[in-house]
Structure 1
Amino acid sequence: MTKYFLLFVVVFLKSILINAQEATSVDSTKILNEVIVVYQANKLTPFTFQDIPAKELKAKSTGQEPSFLLSETPSITNYSDAGNSQGYSYFRMRGIDQTRVNITLDGVPLNEPEDQGAYFSNYPDIVNSVSKIQIQRGVGTSKNGVASYAGSIQLFSPKLQDSAKTTVGIDYGSFNSVRAFGIYNSGIKNKKAFYIRASQIYSDGYKYNSSNNSQSVFLSTGLFNDTSTWKLNILAGQQKNELAWLGVADSLIQRDRRTNANENEKDRFVQALAQLQHKWKVSTHSSLQSSVYYTYLTGDYDFNLNTFLGLPSTEELFNYDFQSNLLGFFSNYRVSKKKFNWTTGIHGNVYEREHRGSERSLGDLYKNMGHKNEISIFSKLDFMVNDFSFFADIQYRYTSFDYTGSVNFDPRTWHFVNPKIGVSFKFQQGSLLYYSLGSTGREPTRNDIFGGNDDLLADDMNTAVVFIEDPEYVVDHELGWRFSSKNLTLDMNLYYMDFSNEIVLQGNFGPNGLALTNNVEESYRTGVEVNAVYSINHNFSLINNSSFNYIRIKEQSEVFSPILTPPVLINQELVYTHNNLVVGLSARYQDDSYMDFANTAAIDAYVLLNSRIQYALERYQFSVFVNNITNTTYFNNGYVDFDGTNKFFVQAPTNFHVAIQYSF
Structure 2
Amino acid sequence: MGSAALALPFLTPQAAWAQGPVAGTVTDARTGTALPGATVLLDGAVVGATDATGAFAVPAVPAGAHELRITFLGYDALRQPLQGQAAEQRLTLGLRSGGILTGEALVTASRANDRTATAYTNVSKEELARRNFGQDIPYLLDQTPSVVVNSDAGAGVGYTDIRIRGTSNTGINMTINGVPLNDAESHGSFLVNLPDLASSISSLQVQRGVGTSQNGGAAFGASINVSTLENRTEAYGETQNSAGSFNTWKNTVQFGTGLLGRHFTVDGRLSRIATDGYMNRAASDLKSYYLSAGFQAKNTLVKFITFSGREKTYQAWNGVPEPLITGNRQLLQQFIDNGELSEADAARGLQEGRRYSYYTYDNQTDNYQQNHYQLHLAQGLGPDWNIGAALHLTRGFGYYESYRANRKLVDYNLPNVVIGSETIKRTNLVDRKWLDNYFYGGTFALNYQPRANDKLQATLGGAWNQFTNDHYGEVIWAQYASTGNIRHRYYFNDALKTDYNAYARATYLVLPQLSLYGDLQVRRIRYDIDGVEGQNRDVTTREKYLFVNPKAGATFTVAEGQQLYASFARGQREPVRSDFTDRPAGQPKARAERLNDFEGGYRLNRPNTDLLGPNTALHLEANYFYMQYRNQLVATGRLDSVGNALRTNVDRSYRTGVELTGFAGLNDKLSLSSTLTLSRNRILGFREVIYNADYEPVQATEARTTTISYSPSVVSAHTLEGQPVKGLRLALLYKTVSEQFLDNTASAAKRIAPYQVLDFRVRYSIRPVFVKEIELGLLVNNVLNREYVANGYTYGYPGADGRQQIFNFYFPQATRNFLASVGVKF
- TM score, norm. by length of structure 2: 0.73
| Residues 235-278 of structure 1: per-residue CA shift (max 9 Å, x gap) | 11101110100121232134422111234221110101111011
The alpha-carbon distance between structure 1 residues 533 and 512, as it changes in their structure 2 partners (threshold 3 A), is farther
In the alignment, structure 1 residue 498 sits paired with structure 2 residue 628? yes
Q: Secondary structure at the match of 2:110?
A: coil
Query: 1:59 — aligned with what?
Result: 130
Count of aligned residue pairs for this structure pair: 625
Query: 1:604 — aligned with what?
Result: 753
Query: 1:6 — aligned with what?
Result: none
Equivalent position amino acid for 1:279 in 2 = A
Separation (CA, whole Å) in 2 of partners of 1:508 and 1:60: 41
Indicate if the aligned counterparts of 2:133 and 2:779 stay in contact, CA closer than 8 A.
Answer: no
Separation (CA, whole Å) in 2 of partners of 1:227 and 1:178: 43
Separation (CA, whole Å) in 1 of partners of 2:374 and 2:682: 41
Query: 1:296 — aligned with what?
Result: 395
User: 98, 101, 123: which is aligned to 1:32?
Assistant: 101
Q: Gapped runs of 5+ residues in structure 2?
A: 1-75, 79-98, 328-349, 408-425, 482-487, 533-537, 609-616, 687-702, 768-772, 797-804
Equivalent position amino acid for 2:573 in 1 = R
Separation (CA, whole Å) in 2 of partners of 1:209 and 1:58: 30
In the alignment, structure 1 residue 259 sits paired with structure 2 residue 356? yes
User: 511, 516, 519: which is aligned to 1:390?
Assistant: 516
The alpha-carbon distance between structure 1 residues 552 and 638, as it changes in their structure 2 partners (threshold 3 A), is same
* Deviation, structure 1 residue 36: 2.8
User: 483, 487, 496: which is aligned to 1:371?
Assistant: 496
Separation (CA, whole Å) in 1 of partners of 2:161 and 2:662: 25
Separation (CA, whole Å) in 1 of partners of 2:213 and 2:787: 41
Which is further off, 615-624 or 41-50? 41-50
In the alignment, structure 1 residue 424 sits paired with structure 2 residue 548? no
* Deviation, structure 1 residue 517: 2.5
* Deviation, structure 1 residue 197: 0.6
Equivalent position amino acid for 1:339 in 2 = K
Separation (CA, whole Å) in 1 of partners of 2:735 and 2:644: 29
Separation (CA, whole Å) in 2 of partners of 1:153 and 1:616: 30
Q: Secondary structure at the match of 1:565?
A: coil
Indicate if the aligned counterparts of 1:451 and 1:466 stay in contact, CA closer than 8 A.
Answer: no
Separation (CA, whole Å) in 2 of partners of 1:61 and 1:162: 24
* Deviation, structure 1 residue 208: 0.8
Equivalent position amino acid for 1:660 in 2 = V
Equivalent position amino acid for 1:118 in 2 = S
In the alignment, structure 1 residue 276 sits paired with structure 2 residue 375? yes
In the alignment, structure 1 residue 614 sits paired with structure 2 residue 759? no
The alpha-carbon distance between structure 1 residues 183 and 587, as it changes in their structure 2 partners (threshold 3 A), is same
| Residues 33-64 of structure 1: per-residue CA shift (max 9 Å, x gap) | 22431100112220111011110100110121
Query: 2:439 — aligned with what?
Result: 326
Separation (CA, whole Å) in 1 of partners of 2:551 and 2:145: 22
Separation (CA, whole Å) in 2 of partners of 1:520 and 1:389: 37
Q: Secondary structure at the match of 2:214?
A: coil
In the alignment, structure 1 residue 177 sits paired with structure 2 residue 276? no
* Deviation, structure 1 residue 132: 1.2
Separation (CA, whole Å) in 1 of partners of 2:638 and 2:783: 33
Query: 2:173 — aligned with what?
Result: 102
Q: Secondary structure at the match of 2:170?
A: helix
- Structure 1 or 2, whichever has the larger Rg, is 2
Separation (CA, whole Å) in 2 of partners of 1:103 and 1:620: 33
Q: Gapped runs of 5+ residues in structure 1?
A: 1-26, 460-464
Equivalent position amino acid for 1:539 in 2 = K
Separation (CA, whole Å) in 2 of partners of 1:227 and 1:416: 36
Indicate if the aligned counterparts of 1:123 and 1:238 stay in contact, CA closer than 8 A.
Answer: yes
Query: 2:770 — aligned with what?
Result: none
The alpha-carbon distance between structure 1 residues 566 and 65, as it changes in their structure 2 partners (threshold 3 A), is same
Equivalent position amino acid for 2:378 in 1 = K
* Deviation, structure 1 residue 408: 7.4
The alpha-carbon distance between structure 1 residues 28 and 300, as it changes in their structure 2 partners (threshold 3 A), is farther
* Deviation, structure 1 residue 161: 3.0
Query: 1:240 — aligned with what?
Result: 312
Q: Secondary structure at the match of 2:195?
A: coil
Separation (CA, whole Å) in 2 of partners of 1:237 and 1:51: 25
The alpha-carbon distance between structure 1 residues 138 and 334, as it changes in their structure 2 partners (threshold 3 A), is same
Separation (CA, whole Å) in 2 of partners of 1:198 and 1:324: 24
Mapping 1:413-452, distance limit 5 Å: 413-451=544-582
Q: Secondary structure at the match of 1:317?
A: strand
Separation (CA, whole Å) in 1 of partners of 2:664 and 2:322: 41
Mapping 1:517-536, distance limit 5 Å: 517-535=647-665
| Residues 254-313 of structure 1: per-residue CA shift (max 9 Å, x gap) | 4422111234221110101111011111111111211100000000013455699xxxx9
* Deviation, structure 1 residue 513: 9.1
Mapping 1:98-497, distance limit 5 Å: 98-190=169-261, 191-253=263-325, 254=327, 255=350, 256-264=353-361, 265-304=364-403, 315-337=428-450, 338-359=454-475, 360-361=477-478, 363-385=488-510, 386-406=512-532, 407=538, 409-451=540-582, 468-485=589-606, 486=608, 487-497=617-627
* Deviation, structure 1 residue 344: 0.7
* Deviation, structure 1 residue 467: 6.0
* Deviation, structure 1 residue 636: 1.0
* Deviation, structure 1 residue 118: 0.9
* Deviation, structure 1 residue 596: 2.2
Equivalent position amino acid for 2:293 in 1 = T
* Deviation, structure 1 residue 73: 1.2
Mapping 1:569-580, distance limit 5 Å: 569-577=715-723, 578-580=725-727
Query: 1:582 — aligned with what?
Result: 729
Equivalent position amino acid for 2:783 in 1 = I
Query: 2:795 — aligned with what?
Result: 641
Q: Secondary structure at the match of 2:129?
A: helix
Separation (CA, whole Å) in 2 of partners of 1:366 and 1:204: 33
Separation (CA, whole Å) in 2 of partners of 1:143 and 1:189: 34
* Deviation, structure 1 residue 189: 2.7
Separation (CA, whole Å) in 2 of partners of 1:267 and 1:514: 19
| Residues 458-501 of structure 1: per-residue CA shift (max 9 Å, x gap) | x6xxxxx7764310000000101111122311122000000000
Separation (CA, whole Å) in 2 of partners of 1:314 and 1:307: 5
In the alignment, structure 1 residue 593 sits paired with structure 2 residue 665? no
The alpha-carbon distance between structure 1 residues 173 and 307, as it changes in their structure 2 partners (threshold 3 A), is farther
The alpha-carbon distance between structure 1 residues 305 and 436, as it changes in their structure 2 partners (threshold 3 A), is farther
Separation (CA, whole Å) in 2 of partners of 1:538 and 1:318: 56
* Deviation, structure 1 residue 116: 0.9
- RMSD across aligned positions (CA): 2.2
Indicate if the aligned counterparts of 2:118 and 2:211 stay in contact, CA closer than 8 A.
Answer: yes
| Residues 144-168 of structure 1: per-residue CA shift (max 9 Å, x gap) | 0000111100111041235321101
Indicate if the aligned counterparts of 1:451 and 1:468 stay in contact, CA closer than 8 A.
Answer: no
Separation (CA, whole Å) in 1 of partners of 2:572 and 2:527: 16
Separation (CA, whole Å) in 2 of partners of 1:331 and 1:378: 10
Separation (CA, whole Å) in 1 of partners of 2:308 and 2:590: 34
Query: 1:552 — aligned with what?
Result: 682
- TM score, norm. by length of structure 1: 0.90
Indicate if the aligned counterparts of 1:623 and 1:658 stay in contact, CA closer than 8 A.
Answer: yes
Indicate if the aligned counterparts of 1:160 and 1:194 stay in contact, CA closer than 8 A.
Answer: no
Indicate if the aligned counterparts of 1:93 and 1:151 stay in contact, CA closer than 8 A.
Answer: yes
Equivalent position amino acid for 2:507 in 1 = D
Query: 1:8 — aligned with what?
Result: none
Query: 2:345 — aligned with what?
Result: none
* Deviation, structure 1 residue 188: 2.1
The alpha-carbon distance between structure 1 residues 167 and 506, as it changes in their structure 2 partners (threshold 3 A), is farther
The alpha-carbon distance between structure 1 residues 586 and 473, as it changes in their structure 2 partners (threshold 3 A), is same
* Deviation, structure 1 residue 314: 8.5
Separation (CA, whole Å) in 1 of partners of 2:159 and 2:641: 20
Equivalent position amino acid for 1:101 in 2 = I
Equivalent position amino acid for 1:504 in 2 = V
Separation (CA, whole Å) in 2 of partners of 1:505 and 1:261: 25
Indicate if the aligned counterparts of 1:444 and 1:468 stay in contact, CA closer than 8 A.
Answer: no
Query: 1:659 — aligned with what?
Result: 821
The alpha-carbon distance between structure 1 residues 508 and 582, as it changes in their structure 2 partners (threshold 3 A), is farther
* Deviation, structure 1 residue 638: 1.4
Q: Secondary structure at the match of 1:544?
A: strand
